[in-house]
Amino acid sequence: MEHRDSKPQRTSYIHPRDLDAGQPMLEGLPLVRRFKSYVGLKGAEKKLRKCLTDFEFTDIATAEKLIGWEKVPIVRL
């Protein structure tokens, strides 16, 4: 979707556990799941701080008002 002043908009969600490098490691997780859950946690906070300084953020209610809904394509499944 595009912002009315042509700035592209993105939505992101970050779960607190995605930033907690000190969280206990769960026993018995398959290797792939363990990799996805724990690799990169130590650098996650630094990356988030960089994103917060490099990009503009807003809340969902404000973002919704900025979307030109009349131009959004309808996808029928």
Q: Which residue has the higher pLDDT, 5 or 61?
A: 61
Local confidence band at 29 (pLDDT 50, 70, 90 cut-offs): very high
Percent of the chain with pLDDT over 90: 39
Spell out the residues 6+ positions from residue 72 whose beta carbon is closer than 8 angstroms to its own.
Answer: 1
Mean pLDDT, the chain, integer = 85
Mean pLDDT over residues 25-29, rounded? 92
Instruction: Report the Cα–Cα distance between both ends of the chain, in Å, rounded.
Output: 19
Are 22 and 41 contacting, i.e. CB atoms less than 8 angstroms apart? no
Whole-number pLDDT of residue 66:
83
pTM exceeds 0.75 for this model: no
Are 42 and 21 contacting, i.e. CB atoms less than 8 angstroms apart? yes
